[in-house]
Structure 1
């Protein structure tokens, strides 16, 4: 059986809709809890897939979260080896940083809510093609410079670098493609303080958007993941 190691930063930001897809593709999922499990003990080369998930901290906050040093080393080794890896939100930011790019606050703007991506030409021929014109979930206040050698796949008006590919097996996604309507109810609790701090944002408003847009994303996300797996695990 193939193995997917998922690095998780908070319990409620998990693999979401990816879990069923990976199970159907024959993967055994192993979560590793950042800040709790010893990430320097994870073999960066052994699992067939690694997914680095999101979380409410900055990819640059090493002083407050010392585990980030080991996590960055793990990601860097995975990237250097050309082994399949997906980074989501914080995970994408950590991938960008591991590749030498700068991660920083996005001009004081928090992009939280549902809106579609604008795919680049490369994005339209990538696994993200199934997300063309599909609203996805955004939940971030940081952004990153595009790493050297990376290919930009998608943008939004608030965030120029929404997705990138690096080589044939690395995919960084600033947005949350894995989000589900059921799972987001836990986010509304866990991120209650952040939601309350943003003008015009509310739990009822986010819930209404989620009910409207999540079903389509839940249909498209598995196909995006399957296309990535087909392209990177074809051998």
Structure 2
């Protein structure tokens, strides 16, 4: 395999055997990044030397961040100190955000009334998040637990059911509770594999979700394009803008 430039490499960590980069991969590939995909639940080793990576992304999964008995959860929790000690940027999506929050001392717990967010729900920018989030937008969720806010973290987006929707620490560690990577193909695969799980308190059934995708996915995707340019690929995006774009 060809050696990749450190500035060109992103580590994608999946918590399922079938997870794919989806929209996230499509957006970041436009900036010339190449991907190193690891699946610790399938036996892949997570690199402890992260000097060769611009960004680490840990995706969601069907398990809890408190499931220490599961190989992928145990492996990621033991590996996160290396991420925190490195210079690589970190983006945690859903379970990935929860795992980092837990590593940094926050609690991960179900909603006290048993509510879930499965489908499209609104999130609102906090005062600290107005440069990155609109006052309100509809985003795609699939979770029954939420994260507490780690010490030193700044809350960027909130919601009425789960109040902690996005956080960051020192412009390097980012966590979001929702799923910007979910494109149409990913969404249909999730519904096909887990339709029965949508019938939970506050969950949306497949038909309601598909209607939500028709209404909200384009704007959600446009938001992620902006977020990627401002946060995940800001050096390359600035360089592109400086070339007459």
2:190 maps to 1:184: no
In 1, Cα distance between equivalents of 2:186 and 2:44: 26
For residues 225 and 202 of structure 2, what CA distance do their matches in structure 1 show?
33
- Determine if contact 2:110/2:144 at 8 Å carries over to the other structure: yes
**CA distance, structure 1, for counterparts of residue 39 and residue 108 of structure 2:** 22
How far apart in 2 are the matches of 1:115 and 1:104?
19
Q: Deviations over 1:111-152 (max 9, x none)?
A: 112122111111113xx33x4422111211001110001001
Asked if structure 2 preserves the Cα contact closer than 8 Å seen for 1:39 and 1:74, the reply is no
Matching residue within 10, 20, 27 for 1:4: 10
Q: What CA distance in whole angstroms lies between the structure 1 residues aligned with 2:173 and 2:202? A: 35
- Is 2:142–2:178's contact at 8 Å kept on the other side of the alignment? yes
Q: Structure 1 residues 43 and 115 mapped into 2: Cα distance closer, same or farther (>3 Å)?
A: same
- Alpha-carbon distance change, 222 to 11 in structure 1, aligned in 2, over 3 angstroms: farther
Alignment of 1:1-235 (within 5 A): 1=5, 2-41=8-47, 43-63=49-69, 65-107=70-112, 108-125=114-131, 128-129=132-133, 131-198=134-201, 201-231=204-234
The question of whether the paired residues in 2 share the 8 Å contact of 1:119 and 1:155 is answered with yes
Q: Which residue of 1 aligns with 2:243?
A: none
Contact 1:17–1:222 (CA under 8 A) maintained in structure 2: no
Q: Which moved more, 1:84-93 or 1:206-215?
A: 206-215
1:11 Cα deviation after fit: 4.6
User: Which whole-Å CA distance do the structure 2 matches of 1:103 and 1:168 have between them?
Assistant: 22
Partners of 1:181 and 1:151 in 2: CA distance: 31
> Residue 127 of structure 2: SS of its match in structure 1?
coil
Q: Which has the larger radius of gyration?
A: 2
1:25 shift after superposition: 0.8
Match of 1:122, SS?
helix
Alpha-carbon offset, residue 82 of structure 1: 4.1
RMSD: 2.2
Distance in 1, matches of 2:23 and 2:48, equals 24
* TM score, norm. by length of structure 2: 0.86
TM-score (norm 1): 0.89
Query: How far apart in 1 are the matches of 2:128 and 2:235?
Result: 17
- Given that 1:117 and 1:133 are in contact with CA atoms closer than 8 Å, whether structure 2 keeps it comes out as yes
